[in-house]
Amino acid sequence: MEFISTRGKDGPISFETALLNGLARDGGLYLPVSWPCFNLDEIRQMRDLSYSDLAGLIMSRFTDGEINQVEMTSLARQSYADFTHPDVAPLRPVAENIHILELFHGPTIAFKDYAMQFLSRVFDRALTRQNRTAVILGATSGDTGSAALEAFKGRDSVDVFILFPEGRVSPVQQKQMTSISAKGAHAVAVSGDFDDCQDMVKACFNDVAFRDEMKLSAVNSINWARLMPQIVYYFASALKVGAPEQTVAFCVPTGNFGNVFAGWVAAKMGLPVEKFIVASNRNDILTRFFVTGTMQRRSVDPSLSPSMDIQVSSNFERLLFELLDRDGVEVARLMKRFAKSGSFDVAENVLQAALSLFSGFCLDDDGTKVEIRSTYQQTGMVIDPHSAVGLAGARQARASGLVSRDTPIISLACAHPAKFPDAVQSSCGIYPELPEHLANLMQRDDVMLTAENDMEAVQALLRAERR
């Protein structure tokens, strides 16, 4: 298996090279040269596999010739050994033929743990093989940062710098990052919003001299290896509701489009999916695209679901590449236009191709509170604001007939409600407590760096603080 860039000028390269590069050297994102596919019999045979065995089977299809299924399964077992639920990604019924997929049973109680725990191990493997070190630079709207710092802390071969928007993550999310004091693990508060942090990361990678000097690598979902582990829980949850005989639908709360794109890959690999509902908060760039065919950036508006406070959905470039029949030149043109003007349009046939599988949904803060409260009153289940956006999207898709009544809808619950206790309490009157392993989190000491919203300032900080 080899990988190419969405902008057409980088690749084919190996999985290990794509892993360590993170962002393609032409500014694009890596994708496999072809999509591996399972037939229906192969998907049926997945039903009896453990979560780690399933992960080994699926992810090894993207590392053929480098990491075989046996080794991949071993990496998966190590990655999920400390998850607190035996199912790793448990599925719970919440309404008629609507299910919640709980993706918050990892160390930092957010879905990013599924990828980060794997990523830290596959990074270690690659760096050890090449006898080299790396500096990981990432941006976070809340959950990626804590998951990355937790997964990579204390590893001799890696320094990790995570940029987060100062004052725009929840107190729990910030504390999860700033309470990690291991050598080489750095939480960096940046004046600005998440899109500013993400732009800074991309700018540093596109500065080739700096990139090579620092041996930069990425753990944001711009790194293809971040998406691979996320494909697994789409298969795992669909199998539990009757796939492959039963077609399923997914509602995915998202800002950066990485999580839902992993679902699209699962469908590309043979999983029968009727629809993906792309659920956004008031920062509704994706919803607007699926209505108009125009991707138009606006200012970020802080909300109760800060991990989705994004107006530049980086991973959409991967879907765009597929919708445009893998025309890297055209993708590069549109991305250049977007960077310059904050907007681009696609042709009507391209929009219709997207709408054959995707639909947009958005929910404001008042609606989010209503969903948290009604879900608690009806089921006793306490959900966080991001999960509420997704669940509201699932209910709306069912009520409107967008998804047929016989099709199970799986709504992704991407964070534990204790990450956003104030929003939850104001909505339903319940103050969600942190799990036992994080019970004293808010009393832990802080270690934090700060940087201006300026690339030169960030580069100077990395030079000064790396080991």
Active site residue 112: yes
Q: Which residues of 96-127 are buried (b: 16+ CB within 10 A; e: fewer)?
A: ebbbbbbbbbbbbbbbbbbbbbbbbbbbbbbb
Q: Are 286 and 256 in contact (CB under 8 A)?
A: no
Question: What is the residue type of 13?
Answer: I
| From 9, 112, 202, 336, active-site residue | 112
Q: Are 465 and 161 in contact (CB under 8 A)?
A: yes
Instruction: Please state the φ and ψ torsions of residue 454, each to the nearest 5 degrees.
Output: -155, 130
**Helix crossing, 258-268 with 224-240: angle to 10°?**
60
Starting at the earlier edge strand, list the strands of the sheet with 134-139: 216-217, 134-139, 158-165, 185-190, 449-451
Task: Give the DSSP letter string of 182-241.
Answer: -TTEEEEEESS-HHHHHHHHHHHHH-HHHHHHHTEE--STTSHHHHHHHHHHHHHHHHHT
Instruction: Please state the φ and ψ torsions of residue 294, each to the nearest 5 degrees.
Output: -115, 125
**Which residues does the annotation mark as catalytic?**
112
